[in-house]
């Protein structure tokens, strides 16, 4: 009975081994088990370093902040640092098509750019401390804040027209002139790209029509805005102290004055010269009058002397 069962079992295994699907099924099962083991081993290796990194992070955080404050505060403190890296933008919206018609006067620029940086006013030429921008269609356009900051001055001058000054970090100030329809007031906080006014006209840039005059200053000294567009504010540098204008250019504007101040001083000086000439002419006329009076007095004395001598001669003849 036992031998028969053994024979039956052997015959059963032979029938199973004889099936075409048996060995492929065995291969697939073994491959699945091997793949499962490999994946499990890889996950085990990945979990161990993560636990180690977490432990090291906790230790370093406790050493730095005493274990009393969460590390998220450091992420919050990093946000203002990114804000300080604001780049200098043109004072117009990106979709507005503009062109520069008056450049910043740079002593190291070529003669063509220097010629484009001269401003004509009252039959004289002056060096530009900023840029004049006009739209491609000649129409008015929105003037935007080049950088985020605080409005520190809103005024109107005879030459530059309506002016807005904005103060920024790192010793920077931006100046916008030839404006119309100003939308900000002194003390207002503005963000980069905010509309502050519309482009208008002024007496100094009358030849440019509707435009905006834009200046960028570092520590009060004007710098070339074109050199710093799309550059971080930390890159803006004030002109070197040893940079001096050529002697032939000193007559056009004063070294430390603004463009408008130099022009106004020249106008005042011209008026004073005219006044001095008139005073000199009046003095000459007065002097001529005094000379004429002295001549008349001398003639009168001479006539009196002649008359006296005649009378003396007549009295002697009668005697």
SS3 180: strand
Distance, CA of 264 to CA of 270 (rounded, Å) = 10
Prediction pTM value: 0.56
SS3 223: strand
Instruction: Give the pLDDT confidence of 289-316 residue by residue, as tens digits.
Output: 555 555 656 555 555 555 554 444 444 4
User: Residue 7: is it exposed, middle or buried by C-beta count within 10 angstroms (0-12/13-18/19+)?
Assistant: exposed
SS3 264: helix
Instruction: Give the pLDDT confidence of 107-136 residue by residue, as tens digits.
Output: 989 999 999 999 988 888 999 999 999 999
User: Residue 53: is it exposed, middle or buried by C-beta count within 10 angstroms (0-12/13-18/19+)?
Assistant: exposed
Q: Where are the domains of the chain?
A: 15-47, 98-232
| Summary count for the chain: helices (H), strands (E) | 5, 12
Q: Tell me which CATH homologous superfamily contains domain 98-232.
A: Glucose Permease (Domain IIA) (2.70.70.10)
Distance, CA of 142 to CA of 149 (rounded, Å) = 18
More reliable by pLDDT, 259 or 139: 139
Cα distances (Å, whole numbers) of residue 151 to 125, 188, 193: 31, 5, 14
Distance, CA of 123 to CA of 130 (rounded, Å) = 20
Reference 204, options 140, 121, 136; nearest CA is: 121
Q: 177: pLDDT confidence band, cut at 50, 70 and 90?
A: very high
Distance, CA of 316 to CA of 42 (rounded, Å) = 157
Work out whether the CA dihedral 148, 151, 152, 155 comes out positive or negative. positive
Instruction: Give the pLDDT confidence of 39-87 residue by residue, as tens digits.
Output: 888 877 666 555 455 545 454 554 544 445 555 554 555 444 444 579 9
């Amino acid at each position: 009975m036992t031998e028969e069962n053994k024979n039956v079992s052997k015959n059963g295994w032979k029938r199973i081994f004889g099936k075409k699907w048996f060995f492929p099924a065995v291969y697939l099962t073994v491959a699945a088990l091997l793949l499962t083991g490999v994946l499990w081993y890889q996950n085990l290796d990945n979990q161990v370093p993560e636990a180690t990194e977490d432990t090291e992070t906790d230790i370093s955080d406790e050493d730095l902040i005493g274990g009393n404050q969460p590390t998220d505060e450091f992420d919050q403190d990093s946000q203002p640092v990114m804000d300080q890296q604001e780049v200098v933008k043109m004072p117009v919206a990106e979709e507005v098509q503009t062109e520069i018609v008056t450049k910043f006067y740079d002593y190291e620029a070529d003669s063509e750019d220097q010629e484009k940086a001269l401003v004509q006013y009252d039959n004289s030429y002056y060096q530009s401390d900023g840029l004049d921008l006009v739209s491609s269609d000649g129409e008015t356009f929105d003037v935007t804040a080049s950088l985020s900051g605080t409005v520190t001055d809103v005024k109107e001058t005879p030459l530059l027209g309506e002016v807005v000054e904005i103060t920024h970090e790192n010793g920077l100030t931006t100046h916008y002139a030839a404006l119309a329809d100003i939308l900000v007031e002194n003390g207002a906080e503005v963000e980069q790209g905010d509309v502050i006014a519309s482009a208008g006209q002024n007496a100094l840039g009358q030849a440019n029509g509707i435009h905006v005059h834009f200046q960028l200053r570092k520590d009060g000294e004007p710098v070339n805005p074109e050199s710093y567009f799309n550059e971080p504010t930390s890159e803006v540098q004030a002109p070197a102290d040893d940079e001096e204008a050529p002697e032939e250019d000193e007559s056009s504007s004063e070294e430390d004055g603004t463009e408008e101040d130099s022009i106004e001083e020249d106008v005042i000086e011209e008026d004073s010269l005219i006044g001095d000439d008139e005073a000199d002419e009046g003095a000459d006329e007065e002097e001529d009058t005094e000379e004429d009076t002295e001549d008349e007095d001398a003639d009168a004395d001479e006539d009196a002397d002649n008359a006296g001598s005649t009378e003396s001669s007549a009295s002697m003849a009668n005697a």
